[in-house]
């Protein structure tokens, strides 16, 4: 069976069914107590000098005179070899009785953030992280030009409990043929209140209880209704809808903040697995005002349980105000 998108009428969302990535129960590392990722530099396809084991690169930041698909790169973008989506075709949902499905159209890319196997994102220089951000922005803009795509999802899984399958530091980009309904609260809030929900989130904290750091172009905050313990957002102070709207001056500051904040979080929380997600506006879709892009950084300290799965109500055992205080102190030490 080919990759397929299936619609869940109960939860009102699309699900990717990817048989090409079939896994047996024993293949799921989180199912085994005490399991760890066992990827070594000798077999890692993302390490410099092993470019032949990956698909041909789409883009890269390279040293002068180095050739594509060979050594000499700082960061590179490649197609995901085990993509849950197929790049050919179109998104044309069909309904047969209750069952609604579509061809598994989409784009899945990997951003290899460093040529070094045991180097984490927060151990890179700000200049190196800036190169990664510029690659991601370039891919965001390039994929946005394809009118078949409606949302660009940029994310990172770091550590086994965050969903990582390889140790080598990398992030991923998925271009979807439908909008991300998780973000619909933003235009709905704007239509109801006439203001941006994210801008209001920043403004409605006059004593800075949930503020970790404020720079010239970005603030780092623990959001008022954090779903996860020690969840933090890096938010542009300027109202911007799309990640692709970020300019080079902003990107330079963001690179420094990513490095400093991740170091602070790892020190404060004893090196947890974590996810980063860039929330942004839809593309190639009817315009709705109220979107404001931001980066969410979520340490994985607990596995979501039955209450979260069954109701969507998340229980956060660390108040955002207390989390911000601890993370702020750690951030100051890492500056």
pLDDT band, very low/low/confident/very high, at 307 (cuts 50, 70, 90): confident
pLDDT at 53: 95
| Tens digits of residue pLDDT in 217-232 | 999 999 999 999 999 9
Domain with residues 4-334, CATH architecture: 2-Layer Sandwich (3.30)
SS (H, E, C) the chain: CCCEEEEECCCCEEEEECHHHCCCHHHCHHHCCCCCCCCCCCCCCCCCCCHHHCCCCCEEEECCCCCCCCCCEEEEEEECCCCCCECCCCCCCEEECCEEEEECECEEEEEECCCCCCCCHHHCCHHHHHHHHHHHHHHHHHHHCCCCCCEEEEEEEECHHHCCCCCCCEEEEEEECCCCHHHCHHHHHHHHHCCCHHHHHHHCCCCCCCEEEECCCEEEECCCCCCCCCCEEEEECCCCCCHHHCCHHHHHHHHHHHHHHHHHHHHHHCCCCEEEEEECCCCCCCCCCCCCCEEEEEECCCCCCHHHHHHCCCCCCCCHHHHHHHHHHHHHHHC
For range 300-322, the mean pLDDT: 90
pLDDT in tens, 81-108: 988 898 888 899 999 999 999 989 999 9
Q: Pick 30 or 76 by higher pLDDT.
A: 76
Q: Give the pLDDT confidence score for residue 23 in this predicted structure.
A: 53
Q: Is the pLDDT of residue 209 over 80?
A: yes
Q: Assess contact for 41 and 117: CB atoms under 8 A.
A: yes
- Given a cut of 90, whether residue 276 has pLDDT beyond it is yes
Catalytic residues: 170
Average the pLDDT over 55-67 and give the result. 96
The whole-number average pLDDT for the span 134-140 is: 98
Does the model's pTM come out above 0.85?
yes
- What mean pLDDT, rounded, does the chain reach? 92
- The mean per-residue pLDDT over the stretch 275-301 comes to 97
**pLDDT: is 155 or 25 the higher one?**
155
pLDDT of residue 12: 80
Is pLDDT at 33 greater than 70 in this prediction? no
What confidence tens digit (pLDDT) does each residue in 160-202 have? 889 888 899 999 999 999 999 999 999 999 999 999 999 999 9
CA–CA gap between residue 71 and residue 79 (Å, rounded): 18
Contact present, 210 and 324 (Cβ < 8 Å): yes
The confidence band for 26, taking pLDDT boundaries of 50, 70 and 90, is low
Question: What is the model's pLDDT at position 279?
Answer: 97
Q: How far apart are CA 28 and CA 194, in angstroms?
A: 46
pLDDT at position 78: 98
What is the rounded CA–CA span in Å between residue 262 and residue 260?
6
Residue 29, pLDDT score = 54
Q: Residue 151 pLDDT more than 50? A: yes
**Domain spans in the chain, listed from the N-terminal domain onward:** 4-334
* pLDDT of the residue at 165: 82
The whole-number pLDDT of residue 24 equals 54
- What is the pLDDT, as a whole number, of residue 160? 86
Mean pLDDT score, 30-51: 75
pLDDT for 220: 98
Least confident of 9-18, 189-198, 292-301: 9-18
Specify the pLDDT at position 28. Answer: 53
């Amino acid at each position: 069976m080919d990759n397929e998108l299936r619609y869940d009428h109960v939860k009102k969302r699309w699900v990717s069914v990817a048989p090409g990535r079939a896994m047996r129960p024993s293949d799921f590392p989180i199912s085994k107590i005490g399991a760890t990722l066992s990827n070594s530099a000798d077999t890692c396809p993302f390490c410099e000098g092993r470019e032949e084991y990956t698909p041909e690169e789409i883009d890269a930041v390279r040293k002068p005179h180095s050739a594509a698909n060979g050594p000499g790169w700082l960061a590179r973008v490649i197609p995901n070899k085990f993509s849950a989506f197929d790049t050919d075709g179109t998104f044309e949902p069909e309904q047969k009785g209750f069952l609604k499905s579509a061809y598994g159209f989409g784009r899945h890319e990997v951003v290899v953030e460093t040529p070094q196997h045991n180097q984490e994102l927060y151990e890179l220089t700000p200049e190196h992280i800036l190169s990664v951000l510029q690659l991601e922005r370039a891919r965001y803009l390039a994929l946005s030009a394809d009118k078949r795509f409606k949302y660009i999802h940029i994310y990172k899984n770091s550590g086994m409990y965050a969903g990582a399958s390889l140790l080598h530091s990398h992030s991923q980009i998925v271009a979807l043929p439908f909008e991300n309904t998780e973000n619909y609260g933003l235009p709905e809030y704007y239509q109801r209140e006439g203001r941006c929900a994210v801008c209001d989130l920043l403004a409605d904290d006059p004593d800075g209880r949930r503020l970790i750091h404020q720079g010239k172009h970005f603030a780092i905050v623990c959001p008022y209704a954090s779903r996860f313990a020690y969840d933090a957002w890096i938010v542009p102070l300027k109202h911007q809808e799309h990640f692709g709207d970020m300019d080079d001056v902003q990107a330079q500051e963001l690179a420094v903040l990513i490095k400093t904040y991740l170091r602070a979080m790892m020190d404060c929380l004893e090196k947890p697995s974590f996810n980063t997600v860039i929330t942004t506006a839809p593309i190639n879709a009817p315009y709705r005002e109220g979107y404001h892009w931001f980066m969410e950084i979520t340490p994985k300290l607990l596995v979501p349980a039955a209450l979260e799965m069954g109701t969507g109500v998340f229980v956060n055992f660390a108040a955002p105000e207390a989390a911000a205080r601890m993370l702020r102190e750690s951030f100051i030490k890492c500056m």
